[in-house]
Amino acid sequence: MAVPVIAGTTPQVQKETEASNPRDSLLRVNSNNQAFDFFRPWRKKPPFSRRGIGVLIEGGRILVTAELVANSNFIELEKAATAEKSAATVERVDYDCNLAVLKPVDPGFIKAMNPMPIDGNLKVGSELEVLQMEPNGDIARTAAKVTTIGVGGYPFENLGLLVFKAAVPLQQREGSFTLPAVRDGKLVGLLMRYDARNQTAEIVSTPVIRHFLKEMEDGRYEGFARLGLSFASLRDPQLRRHVKVTEPGGIYVTEVVPGGSAALAGIRKGDVILEIDGKSIDQDGNYDDPEFGRILFSHITSTVRHPGETVAVRISRDGKVEDLKVALQVPDRSRLVSEAHITDRAPRFLVLGGLVFVELSRSYLQEWGADWAKAAPQRLVYYDAFQNELPEDRGKIVVLSQVMPTPDTLGYEDLQNHVVLKANGRTVRSLEDLAEASKEPLGGFHKIELEEDPKLIFLDAQSVEANKDALMKHYALPALQRL
């Protein structure tokens, strides 16, 4: 998703020669990553490496995008000028905000370097520089100009956080997966996407970086809270009259995520949100930010405020104005029916007599490629897309992913991507449920009930048990389950 830097034209690049050298704060970061194979969850895909630039900040921390080090096996820091290297570990990574902090294994490695301060107060039209590295370690600076500041989707979770968009004609250079954007020697953000055609970059913004670092401070990292609702604009005067809103502005709540911050505060579908944290919300959901102008309210609830804080929300319900307190919380991702991504963590699976079971996640669906929403089995796509509408106790969607044919699976060879409802009479809401159920076959058979045709399949429990070793050996499976 984050496109490293590719530019078509030759921009004006000034070579770094001054004494106040940002080179003293920058390191090459080489991350050897290896993603899991969700179709064959017992193995990893071929490894690959990503190279970017990390920024040394206060506290001996090296800031990079999360995407650079996603599913990393080994991370190496390299000094630009001397090519000295040191291994590094991830101190903290948050895929919501696409940021990670690395620490060198040898703390002395960064001793002679200068941490880069973090800037703020960017405006539309502010000029900044995007830094790249030449092969010889020189810094290549490309002038950039902020064109838009607004809330936009971050990769992985598609969470809306503040993004700086900048016009910048970058050249294609080796190792540009993450690049710092600086102003007057201070860090303002990290490039996370670059559109070479339009020569525009999307930059992880300073407030997001500050929030991430602040969360790390108290040793109890929570991350970015979500209000947990969807809304629609309230421009339509007919709708405004219908919902009896007389105050200006306001947005119409179209969906409240069960168990989310908004739901727990009593916000309901159909409410009109007029104010958040004392700021008036306009008909499109924007408020007047003293620093960045008119931006979406979620900047307050996700970034300005931290999890655990309470914000005042003024709503209009049936023409009556009410004031509510919303305790901001980070949703418990493990409780989601289908997680938006599974990174740095092996997918869970269970193989029973050659039937391969997994839990639905968007990472699984993305194995169908860029066009997964169309190419993947539609029932699974719908489960992912409309998961908030499922009963609260739905649990995980356990999927019979594929069949590795054995004598036990005769006649079932073609089954794939079937949703499992029950096993041996028990409702299946997780792979654990399935593992438990498989300990108690019914009358010597595993009876597995599927949501779609063929609906019902059987395995001979004794034979499944007896053939375990043969199955592992035959298909070279390192294990029959990972829970």
Partner 1 sequence: MFRALVLFCAVFFAVRAGALEISRSLVRIESTSQVPDYKTPWNPGEVESGVGAGFVIDGNRVMTNAHVVSNARFLTVSKEGDPNPYPARVLHIAHDCDLALLEVKEADFFQGTKPLEFGGIPALESVVSVYGYPIGGTRLSVTRGIVSRIDFQTYSHSGIDAHLTIQIDAAINPGNSGGPVMQDGKVVGVAFQGFSGDIAQNVGYMIPTPVVRRFLMDVEDGRYDRYMDLAMTYQSLFNPAARAALGLKDDNLGVMVSSVYDGGSSAGILQSGDVLLAIDGHNISSDGTIPLGDEPVPLAEVVERKLKGDSVKLDVLRDGNPLALEVQLTEPWPFTLQANAYDEMPRFVVFGGLVFQPVDENFMQEHAPGNQRLKYLYDFFVEDSVYRRHPELVVLSNILADPVNAYAGDFRYAAVDKINGQQIKGLRDVAEAFGQKADVYVIEFVGEGRPVVLEGKAVAEARERILARYGVVNEQNLDK
- Nearest CA-CA partner of 265 in 231, 229, 217: 229
Burial grade of 339 (CB within 10 A; 0-12, 13-18, 19 or more): buried
Go through 189-216 and write b for each residue having 16 or more CB atoms within 10 A of its CB, e for each that does not.
bbbbbbebeebbbbbbbbbbbebbbebb
The nearer residue to partner 1, 39 or 458, going by C-beta atoms, is 458
| Residue 467 interacts with partner 1 (CB under 8 A): yes or no | no
Q: How far apart are CA 228 and CA 265, in angstroms?
A: 11
| Residue 297 interacts with partner 1 (CB under 8 A): yes or no | no
Region 231-290 residues binding partner 1, contact defined as CB under 8 A: 231-233, 235-236, 238-239, 241-242, 252-255, 269-270
How far apart are CB 324 and partner 1 at their closest, in Å?
18
The nearer residue to partner 1, 123 or 269, going by C-beta atoms, is 269
How far apart are CB 230 and partner 1 at their closest, in Å?
6
How far apart are CB 445 and partner 1 at their closest, in Å?
4
How far apart are CB 449 and partner 1 at their closest, in Å?
9
Q: How far apart are CA 353 and CA 415, in angstroms?
A: 14
The nearer residue to partner 1, 109 or 252, going by C-beta atoms, is 252
3-state secondary structure of 155: coil
Q: How far apart are CA 330 and CA 227, in angstroms?
A: 9
Region 176-235 residues binding partner 1, contact defined as CB under 8 A: 230-233, 235
Q: How far apart are CA 126 and CA 189, in angstroms?
A: 13
Q: Which two tokens stand for residue 137?
A: 């370690």
Region 14-73 residues binding partner 1, contact defined as CB under 8 A: none
With DSSP H G I counted as helix, E B as strand and the rest as coil, what are the percentages for the chain, rounded to 5? 20, 40, 45
User: x-or-dash pattern for partner 1, window 405-434, by CB under 8 A?
Assistant: ---xxxxx----------------------
Region 346-405 residues binding partner 1, contact defined as CB under 8 A: 373, 378-379, 381-382, 385-386, 389
How far apart are CB 98 and partner 1 at their closest, in Å?
26
Number of residues lying near partner 1 (CB under 8 A): 42
User: Any residues with CB less than 8 A from the CB of 91 and at least 6 apart, and which?
Assistant: 61, 101, 102, 103, 216
> Of 88-96, 213-221, 344-352, 442-450, which part binds partner 1 (CB under 8 A)?
442-450
The DSSP H or E segment spanning 383 is helix 378-385
Task: Give one DSSP letter per residue of 115-150, joined into a string.
Answer: PPPB-----TT-EEEEEEE-TTS-EEEEEEEEEEEE
Residue of 163, 457, 471, 477 that binds partner 1 (CB under 8 A): 457
By CB under 8 A, name the binding residues for partner 1: 230-233, 235-236, 238-239, 241-242, 252-255, 269-270, 373, 378-379, 381-382, 385-386, 389, 408-412, 443, 445, 447, 452-460, 463
